[in-house]
Amino acid sequence: MKGAPERVDHYGEANVAKRSAQRRVLTPIMSRRGGQANKLRVLCMPGVTCWDIDYFLSFEQTGEVVALESDPATAAVIRVRAAGLPVVVHEQSTTEFLSTTDDRFDVVYLDYFANFNQQVEIDVQILMRRRLIRRRGAYAVSFYGARESIVTQARHRMLFEDLDTLRPSNESWGGMSRNRQRCVAFNSLIARLRFCSLFVSEPSSANRAFVTTTVPKWSSYATSNCDMLLGCFSVTGYSKHPDRRKVFRSMDGWYVRGRFGIRRWTVSTATGFSLMQGGAAMDAVWGARVARFYRRNHYTPARVEIGAHIRNWQAIVRGVGLCPRVNATDAEIDAEVMRIVERDGYVTRASLKKAKIGQRPLLVREGLRGVCRRLGVQAGASRRRPIAQ
């Protein structure tokens, strides 16, 4: 989309630590779920950067990405950038979408512009109550490690006290760092799913529901304004019976201490490709995306339709044997015409227009019939101006 902001500029320097943390947390989640017969359905909030879409679609096992965006202008940008990809964009808030959808997800990654507030708390509970994460699915969340309202702070403390009553941490709330308090409060919410029915007022035990998960693991990174906390866990099962055992076994995990402490990401130590640095591995990912776009839309995408920041764009397009949108050689135009003929059996003005090569100098110079004669292929009739055979 013209005028769309460049993706990598949004997070400035902090982006490096953010991307590093995201990859370190999300890559094990995705890798563990590779090689399955069924493709994964992923839910995320990619924002204007669309980083999440790029990232999740770089895994073969991803079948569909569902993108949530409450801001209409951002949703419009996401739609343009995701055109031709297996991405469904919902212009809705998380809470709205989660309350109404019938979809089930293998991976949920919600990257909030918020602290651990009531909405984040309600969203995760809706996900669990409605069993929107499949068994063995994963949930990852990031929120600000920044000052909350007094009400939210009180809520965090209450969550901690609930868990602490059941199994004392032998620590005082005030003795923990603020970020740790936030993570412990979130963990308390998740720990409770094991032994407090999701449907608390449900009189029939047959309708009670409990969720078991792995212990959430926490990372943090700094942005220009504040810390961000990034946590993840897997859903191991849904049951009608409470299960307190694991919570009681791994108290360090639930209380985010010892080897389960918050892991701090300061610089990029990412393995694999880096969107910011580019590199051959990333060029191959972009190349695959360009080729897939072409297969679906029958024209070479403009750079902005895949990712405004991509470097070596012409080389990537040429690398997958397609005709660049600017400065294409005559041979590349001929090859595009031959691809049209392979698909349709003939070539028309309309198909040249669709392939976005109708006005290229070669075609203006030689005309459709001239090119077809030279290449020995059939020119079909366009609706507007029939061409004699």
As measured in angstroms, the least distance from the Cβ of 26 to ligand SAM is 10
Region near ligand SAM per CB under 6 A, out of 44-52, 156-164, 245-253, 363-371? 44-52
Q: Which of 54, 64, 69, 336 binds ligand SAM (CB under 6 A)?
A: 69
As measured in angstroms, the least distance from the Cβ of 287 to ligand SAM is 22
- Site for ligand SAM contains 307 (CB under 6 A): no
- Site for ligand SAM contains 101 (CB under 6 A): no
> In the structure encoding, which two tokens stand for residue 193, read together?
């799913």
- Site for ligand SAM contains 47 (CB under 6 A): yes
The 8-class DSSP code of residue 168 comes to: -
Q: Which of 16, 26, 29, 68 binds ligand SAM (CB under 6 A)?
A: 68
How many angstroms separate the most distant Cα atoms in the chain? 89
- Site for ligand SAM contains 112 (CB under 6 A): yes
Half-sphere exposure of 280 (CA within 13 A, CB side): 0
d(CA 131, CA 135): 9
Q: Which of 94, 181, 213, 220 binds ligand SAM (CB under 6 A)?
A: 94
- Site for ligand SAM contains 70 (CB under 6 A): yes
Calculate ∠ Cα 1-55-234, nearest 5°: 135
Region near ligand SAM per CB under 6 A, out of 48-56, 148-156, 312-320, 371-379? 48-56
Q: Which of 111, 164, 283, 336 binds ligand SAM (CB under 6 A)?
A: 111
- Site for ligand SAM contains 121 (CB under 6 A): no
As measured in angstroms, the least distance from the Cβ of 117 to ligand SAM is 10
- Going by DSSP bridges, is the β-strand pair 227-239/210-213 parallel, antiparallel, or unpaired? antiparallel
| Nearer of residues 48 and 328 to ligand SAM, judged by Cβ | 48
Which residue number places its CB atom closest to ligand SAM? 47
- Site for ligand SAM contains 113 (CB under 6 A): yes
d(CA 363, CA 353): 11
| Size of interface with ligand SAM, in residues (CB under 6 A) | 18
d(CA 123, CA 143): 13
Region near ligand SAM per CB under 6 A, out of 68-76, 213-221, 285-293, 339-347? 68-76
Indicate if the alpha-carbon torsion angle 306, 33, 45, 113 is positive or negative.
negative
> In the structure encoding, which two tokens stand for residue 387, read together?
């061409």
| Nearer of residues 28 and 367 to ligand SAM, judged by Cβ | 28
Q: Which of 61, 93, 153, 250 binds ligand SAM (CB under 6 A)?
A: 93
Region near ligand SAM per CB under 6 A, out of 45-53, 155-163, 184-192, 372-380? 45-53
- Site for ligand SAM contains 74 (CB under 6 A): yes
Tell me the three state secondary structure of residue 194: helix
- Site for ligand SAM contains 17 (CB under 6 A): no
As measured in angstroms, the least distance from the Cβ of 21 to ligand SAM is 10
| Nearer of residues 48 and 247 to ligand SAM, judged by Cβ | 48
Q: Which of 71, 121, 162, 243 binds ligand SAM (CB under 6 A)?
A: 71
d(CA 365, CA 209): 72
Please say whether the beta carbons of 99 and 124 come within 8 A. no
Strand ranges for 272-389 from DSSP E: none
- Going by DSSP bridges, is the β-strand pair 263-265/217-222 parallel, antiparallel, or unpaired? parallel
For the chain, give percent helix, strand, coil, nearest 5: 45, 20, 35
Q: Which one, of 356, 305, 299, 276, lies nearest residue 77 by Cα?
A: 305
| Nearer of residues 46 and 231 to ligand SAM, judged by Cβ | 46
- Site for ligand SAM contains 145 (CB under 6 A): no
Q: Which residue has tokens 């694991």?
A: 246
- Site for ligand SAM contains 221 (CB under 6 A): no
Contacts of 63 (CB under 8 A, 6+ apart): 38, 39, 40, 41, 86
d(CA 221, CA 236): 27
As measured in angstroms, the least distance from the Cβ of 15 to ligand SAM is 8
d(CA 332, CA 326): 11
> In the structure encoding, which two tokens stand for residue 76, read together?
């419009």
> Where do contacts with ligand SAM occur on this chain (CB under 6 A)?
45-49, 51-52, 68-71, 74, 93-94, 111-113, 119
